[in-house]
Amino acid sequence: MTDTNMSDIIDPRHEAHVEHLFHRSCHMLGMNGFELRPLRRRARGTAKLRSYNQGYTKLGEKSITVDLYTPRTMRPRKLGAILRVACHELAHHQKPPRYYLSWFRMVYRIHHPSFWRQYKKNVALLKRDEVLGPFL
Express each pLDDT in 24-81 by its tens digit.
Answer: 999 999 999 999 999 876 565 555 666 678 899 999 899 999 999 887 778 899 999 9
Q: N- to C-terminal Cα distance for the chain?
A: 23
User: Count of domains in the chain?
Assistant: 1
Strands ordered across the beta sheet of 63-66: 35-38, 63-66, 55-57
Model-level pTM? 0.85
In a domain, 4, yes or no: no
- Residue 121 located in a structural domain: yes
Return the CATH number at 88.
3.30.2010.10
By residue range, what is the domain housing residue 35? 12-135
Cα 22 to the center of its chain, rounded Å: 9
Assigned domain for 7 exists? no
- Find out whether 68 and 18 touch, Cβ atoms under 8 Å: yes
Judged by DSSP in three states, 110 sits in: coil
| Whether residue 7 has pLDDT greater than 60 | no
pLDDT at 71: 75
Query: How confident is the model over 76-106, as pLDDT tens digits?
Result: 999 999 999 999 999 999 999 999 898 999 9
Q: State the chain's mean pLDDT as an integer.
A: 87
